[in-house]
Structure 1
Amino acid sequence: MAVVVAPRPVLGIVLLTFVSAAWGSAFPLMKDLIVRMPVADLLAERYGIATFALVACRPRSLRGLSESTWLTGILLGLLFGVGQTVQAVSLHDLPSSVSGFTVGSYVVITPVLGLVLLGARTSARIWAAVALAAVAMTVFTLLKGAEGDISAPALVATLVSALLYAAHTLALGNSAEARRHAYAVTVIQLGTIAVMTGVLALPDGLTLPATPCDWAVLGHLSIVACALGFLARSWGQVHVSPVPAAVILSAQPLWVTILAVALYGESLTLSIFLGGGLIALAMLLVVLPRGLLSSVRRGIGPVPPRRPSG
């Protein structure tokens, strides 16, 4: 039987920061790779390899699971998988900056959706962090300039993917099964996405990466961004409630920018320093006292502390 541990916010923050960095690094790499590979093929291979890797590490992780655990993993996989597919397809018709900004709007959608669907209350401090994160995304993306034409259907489709990501964040953070069986639910999620995208890819056959460099990119997307990223997120949201988690994950544009500066020689600009400062301030509002830590003490975090028996 899985044991539900007391929340450890610092661990959750570290894990979600890793997820933000891993997913941020994946965005430009995926944008580049879908030029040479069909979207469905890339996603099927990416999530298939990630699923296989996690099952290989823990072959017995799916044994003895209840029906509710399987349904939870499948639902989470469908929410994220449909969102990921829609986002990837829309990347063909949107500038990267606009796509990144639109997807990142889920940091604002998450607390609104939580309030409407779950009646979840969010403190003024966390709302301030959400607002700062939204402004930071604007600085990182739209204020840097959007190259090319903007397709209205692609923009709407990407907004739908942001809505699905917000629903995924809430479902993951409020699921008792995901907390008890984080590893298994992660495997089921990834497997669901692999099957869904595989069905779309198989009619025309799978296109494999053509060069060692493309295989290396696929390996990073599969192992670091998917297998480790999803696992870290599942464990991270055991310790951090959905809205603060969304704020931490909203730092992805910062990591995209750091990657561009480090690998592609992009210059450091005022927008980078301003956006990075706003993201840092938003995260401080989440993690400092009366933010995330006090929300756990009030018992509104995702996992209540264990009480001693007896």
Structure 2
Amino acid sequence: MSARHQLQLKLAPWALLAVSASWGAAFVLMKPAIERQAVNSFLATRFVVAVLAMVILRPSVLQKLNRELILKGSLAGLFLGSGYIFQTLGLARTGAAITGFVTGLYVVLTPLIAAVFLKERIRAFTWFCVVLATIGLALLSLQGWSVGVGEALVFISAIAFAAHIVTLSKWSLGLDAYALTVVQLTICAILTGAISLGQGYETPPDAGVWGVVIFTAVVCTAVAFIVQTWSQAHMSSTKVAVILTMEVVFAALFAVVFGGESLSLQVSIGGILVVIAMYLIVMKEA
């Protein structure tokens, strides 16, 4: 193993952790924005801006598109876009806390899908980390429980997000991460754009919303998914899923620091369990 590859293996988990932090921050930033612009219109604008920014920044990326990359990137983008859509549909029908927990179940679904379709062998220690992270997510998110249409829709989104993680773990190695990200986000833009047009697309109403759109498009979408695509070439899909559960922890932390919210003992314990699960799996597989 070359020194460069060893460095990549060490950097990948921390790069993915930075992605989780950006997504956690996005929750706080997006909350007031989607009160002034319809959710699907916001998502469509975000994905379109992300794709345009990536192409403008590196026009040569279009020359790297080939049949294999477009097919694989489109399928990954279909899973990703479907995840966002079903999550949004579910959120409209159930509470935000339960939505957060059910979405986070991709940490359980990812190793199951990887085991079934990729024949990955999941070790007992890894399952322990998965269970620990799931308990932490439940403590972070749940303030009661009911099962209905909303929960079912969010569960479908969790399946889609897990499939996206597994797909990238299978295909990201050997493909250009930048070009693969462009294709994925283009599919997301098409899916969310079609839905928002059907609902009556709304443009961002003011400079504040435009600022959130641009930040989430560039930092939380374009840069984040480039990093995720690159990172997944250097670690297992299950390890990726556990690290990404830190998104919920960062969201709670930023809500306290910048949103003026308070943490209960239950939420604090939940966050600690997720952090422990992330730390154990990263250190064990480092």
Structures share fold, TM-score greater than 0.5: yes
Q: Say whether the 8 Å CA contact 2:48–2:189 is kept in structure 1.
A: yes
Q: Are 2:154 and 1:161 aligned?
A: no
Partner of 2:285: 292
Q: Encode CA deviations 1:205-256: one digit per residue, 9 max, x unaligned.
A: 5311212222222222211211111111111112221000000001111011
Q: Distance in 1 between matches of 2:266 and 2:215?
A: 28
Per-residue deviation, residues 25-61 of structure 1 (Å, max 9, x unmatched):
2234445433332233111101000111111111111
Cα 1:72–1:273 shift into 2, 3 Å: same
Give the number of the structure whose residues are more often helix, by fraction.
2
Tell me, yes or no, if structure 1 residue 138 matches structure 2 residue 138: yes
Equivalent residue number for residue 19 of structure 2 = 19
- Cα displacement string for residues 93-114 of structure 1 (whole angstroms, at most 9, x for unaligned residues): 2211100000000000111111
Deviations 1:120-174 (A, max 9, x none): 11111211111111011011111xx25xx95711110000000011011000001
Deviation, 1:80, is: 0.5
Distance in structure 2 (CA, Å) of the matches to 1:51 and 1:91: 26
State the alpha-carbon separation in 2 of the partners of residues 251 and 46 from structure 1: 23
User: 1:215 is matched by which residue type in structure 2?
Assistant: W
1:235 correspondence with 2:230: yes
Is 1:39–1:85's contact at 8 Å kept on the other side of the alignment? no
Q: Give 1:271 shift.
A: 2.5
Number of aligned residue pairs: give it.
282
In the alignment, structure 1 residue 188 sits paired with structure 2 residue 187: no
Q: Secondary structure at the match of 1:120?
A: coil
Q: What letter is aligned with 2:154?
A: T
Q: Which residue of 2 aligns with 1:251?
A: 246
SS in 2 for 1:121: coil
- Cα pair 1:140 1:272 within 8 Å, conserved: yes
- Identity of paired residues, percent? 34
Within-5 A mapping of 1:189-208: 189-203=184-198, 205-208=200-203
Structure-1 residue corresponding to 2:258: 263
In the alignment, the residues of structure 2 paired with residue 64 and residue 282 of structure 1 have an alpha-carbon distance, to the nearest angstrom, of 38
CA apart distance, 1:203: 4.5
Is 1:122 the counterpart of 2:110 in the alignment?
no
AA of the residue aligned to 1:242:
S
Q: 1:83 aligns to what?
A: 83
Contact kept in structure 1, 2:74 and 2:187, CA below 8 Å: yes
TM-score normalised by L of structure 1: 0.85
Cα gap change, 1:269 to 1:179, in 2 (>3 Å)? farther
Measure, in 1, the Cα distance between the counterparts of 2:65 and 2:85. 28
Paired with 1:32 and 1:202, the residues of 2 have a C-alpha distance of 22
Hey, what does 2:41 align to over in structure 1?
41
Q: List gaps (5 residues or longer) in structure 2.
A: none
**1:94 pairs with 2:90:** no
Query: Structure 1: where are the runs of 5+ without partners?
Result: 294-310
Structure 1 stretches of 4+ with a deviation exceeding 4 A read: none
Q: Quote the RMSD (CA, aligned, Å).
A: 1.9
Greater CA radius of gyration, 1 or 2?
1
Distance of 1:24 and 1:224 partners within structure 2? 12
1: distance between equivalents of 2:93 and 2:147? 6
| Partners of 2:37 and 2:147 in 1: CA distance | 22
